[in-house]
Chain A
Amino acid sequence: MVTRIFVIDNGGQWTHREWRVLKYLGVDARIFPNNTPFDKLVEEGVDGLVLSGGAPRIGLKEELGRCAEYLDRADFPILGICAGHQFIARHFGGEVQPAEVPEFGKVEIIIDAKHPIFKGLPKKSIAWASHNDEVTIVPQDFVILAHSESCRVEAMAHKERAIVGLQFHPEVEHTEYGAQIFENFIEMCKE
């Protein structure tokens, strides 16, 4: 059976790119607005969820559509990107603040801990980022997976559940190992 991964649209510039990368990797990918009820996603046969980025300032705002509901109820993997990642941190008790040095464009990602999402990636690689805020305190149940020169939490993962957050954008053509990261996420969704 084909894997179904849905992209939750939080209004990002690259939401549609996430859909495209997943589609290219042979997944049944679809975009849903972030006010879609959780039950609807289940009805449609969801195997995994990507929470896209978007302009909302998570450091300054508490809600992001129905993303809280998805995080509370999902028994399938969730990948949060940029604002999606920041929302995950905040939802599980971490903290998000305006970044001391925001990152726009090219950054070097340095992997700190092993995780299935980074399978096959070298310790250092180039990625594209675009954010004003960042995760300053990681929730208790999470570990930091990667950092960059000016951002301490470029990636984090839940210790028990299949929930991963990425501050950078794997869906962007300029991110060196972006497609690999999505392939890894698809593998997580198949398990």
Chain B
Amino acid sequence: MFDPDRFVDEAVKDLKEQIKGKALIACSGGVDSTVCAVLANRALGENLYALHVNTGLLRKGESEEVKKLFEQLGIKLYYLDESGRFFEALKGVVDPEEKRKIIGELFIRIFEEFAERHGIEYLIQGTIAPDWIESGDELRETIKSHHNVGGLPENIKLKIVEPLRDLYKDEVRKVAQYLNLPISERQPFPGPGFAIRVVGEVTREKVEIVREACSIVEEEIEKASESGKMERPWQYFAVLIPVKTVGVHGDKRAYGYTIAIRAIDSVDAMSGSFSRVPYDVLDRIATRISNEMGDKVTRVVYDITNKPPATIEWE
């Protein structure tokens, strides 16, 4: 079985051996990058620079939570708001692979700028097994280019170090539990954020809508699981489908977007079955989304495909 104690010892030792000098770690606040940051902090101490980039594509209140978390961990966190650059780069882009690559490259450029200012040579990434498996290689098909692997540009000035490469999420969670991290059970959130939960072109308006809808899905599903109505799924979120349909709101015609609810059970993200969310929970989510979002959303649907044939995220 997987032994987190041994893994931590070996990973810290490896990081010490591999990294001579300063290293940067980009922290989203998720399980993978936070575990990496704690390991790297043990290995490198003051030579570690933790950076949180606000892409404008993050969950509600995310950046504030990351700041709090790192204060709790006692790791100094640098913060950059780069949302303007991300929206600018994504303008007019529809293809999901292109979106992922644009975001992967922009992240790297921002890291390089930061690294140059601080004389940093290494970049530590929280890449886990599904990221490189699905990104493809000489032998493997590309299913989707994860921003931190398949989305990387060819010319990178930083040396990349990936201590979690051979682990799956359930193993990373075990390491997080072993390290007593409060975020060990957080649901996964993709690096490209809401850019891949808005199907098609990404705009600030659409991201606002899906962010709000996602927060309602999270709230309601967490409430229902805490009260014992259902098991908390592996992942649960909203996707904006850029298809407008007709509704009737207070005797008036409404014409708004479609929101898909996705809730899926998995252990390692490599296979999954859609969650049997009780109808009354779905009902409450649909009602809240339509009421709270006015005529921006006129229809809510539930995704009932497993992985395979579908993937967890829509893009």
Q: With A and B bound together, what is the CA distance between A172 and B133 in angstroms?
A: 14
List residues 101-130 of chain A with CB under 8 A from any CB of chain B. 104-106, 128, 130
Given A16-B129, A24-B2, A105-B306, the answer on whether A128 and B271 have CB atoms closer than 8 Å is yes
Given A13-B133, A106-B273, the answer on whether A173 and B266 have CB atoms closer than 8 Å is yes
B161 CB within 8 Å of chain A: no
A54 CB within 8 Å of chain B: yes
Q: Is the interface of B mostly helix, strand, loop or mixed?
A: loop
List residues 245-287 of chain B with CB under 8 A from any CB of chain A. 266-268, 270-273
Chain B's nearest CB lies how many Å from the CB of A149? 16
Chain A's nearest CB lies how many Å from the CB of B303? 14
- Report the interface size class on chain B: 20 to 34
List residues 121-143 of chain B with CB under 8 A from any CB of chain A. 129, 133-134, 139-141, 143
Query: Does B309 lie within 8 Å of A13, measured CB to CB?
Result: no
A10 CB within 8 Å of chain B: yes
A55 CB within 8 Å of chain B: yes
Given A24-B2, A174-B273, the answer on whether A11 and B141 have CB atoms closer than 8 Å is yes
Q: With A and B bound together, what is the CA distance between A9 and B1 in angstroms?
A: 23
Given A105-B309, A106-B306, A130-B308, the answer on whether A14 and B139 have CB atoms closer than 8 Å is no
Chain A residues whose CB sits within 8 angstroms of the CB of B268 once the complex forms: 17, 173
Query: Does B270 lie within 8 Å of A55, measured CB to CB?
Result: no
Query: Does B141 lie within 8 Å of A173, measured CB to CB?
Result: no
Chain B residues whose CB sits within 8 angstroms of the CB of A54 once the complex forms: 139-140
Q: Mark A24-57, 1 if CB is under 8 A from B, else 0.
A: 1000000001100000000000000000001100
Given A24-B2, A104-B309, the answer on whether A13 and B273 have CB atoms closer than 8 Å is no
Q: Which of these, A14, A34, A104, contacts B270 with CB under 8 Å?
A: A14
Chain B residues whose CB sits within 8 angstroms of the CB of A173 once the complex forms: 266-268, 270-271
Q: With A and B bound together, what is the CA distance between A77 and B258 in angstroms?
A: 53
Q: Mark B134-167, 1 if CB is under 8 A from A, else 0.
A: 1000011101000000000000000000000010
9 inter-chain pairs at a CB distance below 8 angstroms, sorted by A residue, are A9-B139, A10-B139, A24-B1, A34-B139, A104-B308, A105-B306, A128-B271, A172-B270, A173-B270
- List 7 tightest A-B contacts by C-beta distance, closest first: A11-B139, A104-B309, A105-B306, A173-B267, A55-B141, A11-B140, A104-B308
